[in-house]
């Protein structure tokens, strides 16, 4: 056991899923030709005035409610002053002493709660592009609305940091305020790391690893930085408070500059924007827009529908999938069949995570529900459900286009007995193999019966009858 304890806190920047930027009407769409999603306001030309996008405040409040924060009735915008090429007006409009959300928490699987100090709104900066020794600036991202979620230094291991980021990412996606695609930069983390001797309460000197856009890199950077700081302390040296970057190629942290404190940014109230007033009635109205919490949904599905924990994890990963599943199994006895159809046949047709995130299959949930009601009523079997669903997914048409009255009539006991006898007559080799001890041979006989009935027979009943006839 190490004689040092890791202490970490995260500042997580989440781009909000608004159609326009925080202070102007420019598009927030990812990509595009450089400097084409810009206007005089978002590049800070003299004489321009910002106008706050109300949807940004709404999404930030939803994020605060989802993370158990207190919502401030009064909050203000501030200017954070620093000079860097990606910030065209040499200050960032953010929040300082009066943020929108405070005192929340995220609960980890070990029962520990990572406290959230604050969630505030701000504008994103542009992007520096380095190529062949030159540096170019693309301001398309400048002015895209962000929330910054700041945790207390409550994280005590790399595993806890990983789970915290994953839960935050999942939650922001689930409530619909961000896609949190780290590979596109719509979720980025600054990781503050310090170490201290085990059993000591006083915090050590922290370093900040900036702009981490991969959970894998976060864990690697934290592991390296923890070891580096432990080595310094073991050799009698002091840890320097500084801002670091993670070098992915060498898998190490590198110094960028001395660590700034709030005083370095010379915060002062933003003179061009009014105070933000959030009424209790509006917050209560927004609270009703939040979906059923993931934990409540998980418990309901596992208890009432008997869905496995592994399947619940997949169904809950994206809000659209979870909503579709709830509609597809509405009123059904067999929720497992709905889960199987979604996670099997429908997911197989979706090539990317983005497809699953958007989740717009050609079969509406109501049509899948209608098909599964036939299964509930015993009119068809699961194999016919699956073959019919494939045709529905191909065409977008309801099951009635593919199932005839004969398909829905079922197979009575006398018909099933006759078909089993026919299977034995037409497949004497399979019957002989079974009697010789090859138990799997009965499956081909069952297959004959199921094919003959287009999946209408009860496969388990057919197998029992075949075994009885071969005894």
Average pLDDT over residues 424-439: 84
Average pLDDT over residues 402-426: 78
Please indicate, yes or no, whether residues 225 and 315 belong to a single structural domain of this protein: no
User: Residue written as tokens 């970057």?
Assistant: 245
Report the C-alpha gap between 265 and 243 in whole angstroms. Answer: 15
Please indicate, yes or no, whether residues 112 and 259 belong to a single structural domain of this protein: yes
Please indicate, yes or no, whether residues 146 and 211 belong to a single structural domain of this protein: yes
Answer for the pair 145, 121: CB distance below 8 angstroms, yes or no: yes
Please indicate, yes or no, whether residues 344 and 434 belong to a single structural domain of this protein: no
In percent, the amount of the chain with pLDDT more than 90 equals 71
113-127, 380-394, 424-438, 452-466: lowest mean pLDDT where?
452-466
Residue 98: count of CB within 10 angstroms of its CB: 17
Q: What pLDDT score was predicted for residue 260?
A: 60
161 by DSSP, 3-state: which?
A: helix
14-18, 20-24, 333-337: lowest mean pLDDT where?
333-337
In percent, the amount of the chain with pLDDT more than 70 equals 96
Residue of 80, 122, 97 lying closest to 267 (CA atoms): 80
Average pLDDT over residues 185-196: 96
Please indicate, yes or no, whether residues 309 and 392 belong to a single structural domain of this protein: yes
Residues 52-67 as b or e (16 or more Cβ within 10 Å = b): bbebbbbbbbbbbbbb
The residue range of the domain holding 298 is: 291-409
Average pLDDT over residues 185-201: 94
Confidence of residue 155 (pLDDT cuts 50, 70, 90): very high
Answer for the pair 375, 407: CB distance below 8 angstroms, yes or no: no
Terminal C-alpha separation, the chain = 64
Q: Is the pLDDT of residue 91 over 60?
A: yes
Q: What are phi and psi of 357, to 5 degrees?
A: -65, -45
77 by DSSP, 3-state: which?
A: coil
Please indicate, yes or no, whether residues 319 and 464 belong to a single structural domain of this protein: no
Report the C-alpha gap between 272 and 76 in whole angstroms. Answer: 11
Report the C-alpha gap between 28 and 16 in whole angstroms. Answer: 9
- Do the strands 242-247 and 252-258 form a parallel or antiparallel pair, or are they unpaired? antiparallel
Residue where a domain terminates, one of 368, 386, 409: 409
Q: What pLDDT score was predicted for residue 407?
A: 67
Q: What pLDDT score was predicted for residue 226?
A: 97
Please indicate, yes or no, whether residues 398 and 420 belong to a single structural domain of this protein: no
- Most confidently modeled range among 218-232, 351-365, 395-409, 425-439: 218-232
Predicted TM-score (pTM) of the model is 0.82
Residue range 161-184, pLDDT digits in tens: 999 999 999 999 999 999 999 988
Q: Is the pLDDT of residue 1 over 80?
A: no
Q: What pLDDT score was predicted for residue 50?
A: 96
Answer for the pair 217, 248: CB distance below 8 angstroms, yes or no: yes
67-71, 203-207, 460-464: lowest mean pLDDT where?
460-464
CA quadruple 310, 312, 317, 321: dihedral sign:
positive
Please indicate, yes or no, whether residues 313 and 423 belong to a single structural domain of this protein: no
Confidence of residue 63 (pLDDT cuts 50, 70, 90): very high
Please indicate, yes or no, whether residues 372 and 456 belong to a single structural domain of this protein: no
Q: Is the pLDDT of residue 262 over 60?
A: no
Q: Is the pLDDT of residue 404 over 80?
A: no
66-80, 278-292, 341-355, 451-465: lowest mean pLDDT where?
451-465
Q: What pLDDT score was predicted for residue 390?
A: 96
Q: What are phi and psi of 386, to 5 degrees?
A: -70, -45
Please indicate, yes or no, whether residues 373 and 305 belong to a single structural domain of this protein: yes
Residue range 270-299, pLDDT digits in tens: 999 999 999 999 999 999 999 999 999 999
| H-only helix segments in 317-404 | 319-328, 335-341, 347-348, 353-358, 365-376, 382-395
Please indicate, yes or no, whether residues 450 and 330 belong to a single structural domain of this protein: no
Q: Is the pLDDT of residue 261 over 90?
A: no
Report the C-alpha gap between 390 and 392 in whole angstroms. Answer: 5
Q: Is the pLDDT of residue 430 over 90?
A: no
Please indicate, yes or no, whether residues 303 and 316 belong to a single structural domain of this protein: yes
Residue where a domain terminates, one of 237, 253, 283: 283
Q: How many domains does the chain have?
A: 3
Average pLDDT over residues 446-459: 78
Report the C-alpha gap between 428 and 432 in whole angstroms. Answer: 6
- Do the strands 207-212 and 242-247 form a parallel or antiparallel pair, or are they unpaired? parallel
Average pLDDT over residues 200-226: 95
Residue where a domain terminates, one of 265, 283, 301: 283
CA quadruple 21, 26, 29, 35: dihedral sign:
negative
């Amino acid at each position: 056991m190490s004689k040092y304890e890791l202490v970490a806190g995260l500042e997580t920047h989440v781009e909000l899923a608004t159609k326009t930027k925080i202070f102007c009407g420019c598009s927030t769409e990812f990509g595009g030709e450089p400097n084409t999603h810009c206007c005089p306001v978002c590049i800070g030309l003299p004489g321009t005035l910002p106008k706050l996008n109300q949807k940004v405040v709404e999404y930030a409040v939803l994020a605060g409610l989802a993370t158990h924060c207190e919502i401030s009735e009064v909050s203000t915008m501030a200017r954070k002053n620093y000079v860097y090429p990606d910030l065209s007006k040499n200050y960032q409009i953010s929040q300082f002493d009066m943020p929108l959300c405070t005192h929340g928490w995220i609960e980890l699987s070990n029962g520990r709660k990572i406290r959230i100090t604050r969630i505030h709104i701000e504008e994103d900066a542009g992007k520096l592009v380095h190529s062949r020794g030159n540096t170019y600036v693309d301001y398309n991202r400048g002015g895209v609305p962000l929330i910054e979620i700041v945790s207390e230094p409550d994280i005590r291991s790399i595993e806890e940091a990983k789970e915290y980021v994953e839960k935050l990412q999942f939650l922001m996606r689930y409530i619909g305020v961000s896609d949190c695609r780290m590979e596109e930069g719509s979720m980025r983390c600054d990781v503050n790391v310090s170490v201290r001797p085990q059993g000591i309460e006083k915090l050590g000197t922290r370093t900040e690893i900036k702009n981490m856009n991969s959970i894998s890199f976060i864990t690697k950077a934290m592991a390296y930085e923890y070891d580096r700081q432990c080595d310094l302390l073991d050799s009698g040296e002091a840890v320097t408070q500084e801002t670091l970057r993670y070098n992915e190629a060498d898998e190490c942290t590198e110094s960028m500059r001395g660590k700034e404190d709030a005083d370095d940014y010379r915060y002062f109230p933003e003179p061009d924007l009014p105070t933000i007033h959030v009424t209790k009635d509006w917050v209560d109205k927004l609270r009703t827009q939040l979906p059923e919490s993931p934990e409540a949904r998980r418990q309901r599905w596992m208890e009432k529908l008997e869905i496995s924990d592994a399947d619940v994890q997949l169904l809950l990963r994206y809000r659209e999938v979870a909503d579709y599943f709830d509609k597809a199994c509405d009123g059904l006895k067999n929720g497992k069949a709905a889960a199987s159809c979604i996670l099997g046949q429908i997911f197989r047709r979706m090539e990317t995570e983005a497809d699953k995130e958007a989740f717009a299959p050609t079969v509406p949930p109501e049509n899948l529900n209608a098909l599964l009601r036939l299964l509930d009523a015993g009119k068809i079997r699961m194999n016919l459900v699956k073959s019919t669903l494939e045709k529905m997914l191909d065409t977008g048409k309801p099951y009635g286009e593919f199932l005839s009255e004969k398909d829905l009539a079922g197979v009575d006991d006398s018909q099933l007995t006759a078909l089993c006898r026919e299977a034995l007559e037409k497949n004497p080799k399979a019957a002989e193999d079974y009697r010789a001890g090859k138990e799997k041979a009965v499956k081909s006989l069952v297959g004959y019966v199921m094919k003959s009935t287009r999946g209408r027979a009860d496969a388990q009943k057919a197998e029992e009858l075949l075994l009885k006839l071969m005894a």
